[in-house]
Every structure is written in structure tokens, then in C-alpha cells.
Amino acid sequence: MNIENTQSQMRKGVLEFCILSIIKRGEVYPSDIIDEMKKANLHILEGTLYPLLTRLKNSDLLTYRWVESSSGPPRKYFSLTEKGATFYSELQSTWDELANAVHAITQNGTSTLTSSNNFNQ
């Protein structure tokens, strides 16, 4: 067991949720997703985003349409399907529960443990 593995597992878990929540706000172009996540300091390689989007699309959670671009060929804009919206709200409630649980465990546990954890961040 080592820390990087755990960390990357943690990040991976929320990655789809984050991407879906960005798409939920409206039609979006993949590189905008990258930019927004970068702004939030959540780094993701573009090369991993496209497969993920394709996978989500193949599971009927996402749909896309071609939008004419002023420069060059049309671009793919992604949006959530109905199924995707349900999926997202389920994820949302799971996340809320999880966040609450994690918060309750890490913050309201023994105070010494919490403080030392914070310090090490």
C-alpha cells in the first residue's frame, strides 16, 4: 500500500463527477472542461478526457452535437442526456453523503489526530 496509489484512486473517483457537473451546466467543448478543471487546480491530461467522454457517451449518459466553428471543421459539443442527468444526481447525493461522512470522521474525530493531519497538509 502506498500513498500515491491511494491519492490517485481518490482523484479518479471524483473525476467523472467533476466532468459531469461541468457538462451539466450546459453544452461544453472538451478543452473548456480541461481549462475549468485546471483553474480549479485539478489536473487532468487531455488524452484521458477524450476516452472518458467517449465511454460516457457510449453508456448513453452524454450526447453531443456538431457545432460549426469559425475556424476549421465543426466541433463536438457535449451535453447531458436524461439518463446522464439522473446518473449525475445520484452521484451528487452519493458525493454529499460521502463528503459528510468523511468530514464527520476526519473533523469530529479526536482533536489531536485532526490537528496533526491538518498540519501535514
Partner 1 sequence: MKKVININFQGRVIPIEETAYETLKQYIDSLRRYFANEEGKDEIINDIENRIAELFSEQLKKGDSCVTDAHVAAIIASMGRPEDFEEMDAESSSSAGSSQQTYTQSTYTSQAAEPPRGALHRNDNDKILGGVCSGLAHYLRIDPTIMRILFALITLGGFGAGVLLYIILWIILPASPLSTNLKKRMFRNPDGKIIGGVCNGIASYFNIGVWIPRLIFALPLILGAVTGIFHNVFNNNFDPFPNILFSGFGGTLFIAYIILWIVVPEALTASDKLEMRGEKVDLESIKASVQGELQGFKGRAERMGEDFKVKAQAWGEEFKNTAQSKAQSFAADAGPVARRVGSGLGHAIGVLFKAFFLFIAGIVVFALFIALMAIIFSGAAVFPLKNFLLEGFWQNFFAWGTLVLFLGIPVIAGITWLVRRISGAKSSNKYLGYTFGSLWLIGLVCFILLVGSIRRSFDTRARIKDEVTLVQPARGKLVIKVPDSKVKYYGGWFRGGGILTVAEDSLIMNNVRLMIVKSEDSQFHASTIRYSYGNNPAIAERNAGRISYQIHQADSTVYLDRGFSVSEDTRFRNQRVLVTIAVPIGKRILIDRSVDRRLSWDEITVGPHDWNYEDNDNDGGSWWQTDVEYVMTAGGLERVDSEKNRDDEDVDKNKKMTQPEENQNKDDKKYRYKKDSTENKIEKKDSVKATRTVFIDDPNQEEEKSGAVESKAKTTISFLSPFQQLLAIGS
Point out which residues bind partner 1 (CB under 8 A). 2-5, 7-9, 11-12, 15, 30-31, 41, 43-48, 50-55, 57-58, 71-73, 75-76, 118-121
* Shortest Å distance, C-beta 46 to partner 1: 5
**CA 98 – CA 75 distance, rounded (Å):** 36
Closest to 57 in 3D by CA, of 102, 20, 5: 20
* Shortest Å distance, C-beta 37 to partner 1: 10
Whole-Å CA distances, 15 to 64, 97, 101, 103: 20, 17, 19, 19
* Shortest Å distance, C-beta 59 to partner 1: 10
Helix axes 82-107, 111-120, angle to 10 degrees: 110
* Closer residue to partner 1 (CB): 64 or 88: 64
Our separate counts of H helices and E strands in the chain read 5, 2
* Closer residue to partner 1 (CB): 59 or 97: 59
* Closer residue to partner 1 (CB): 30 or 84: 30
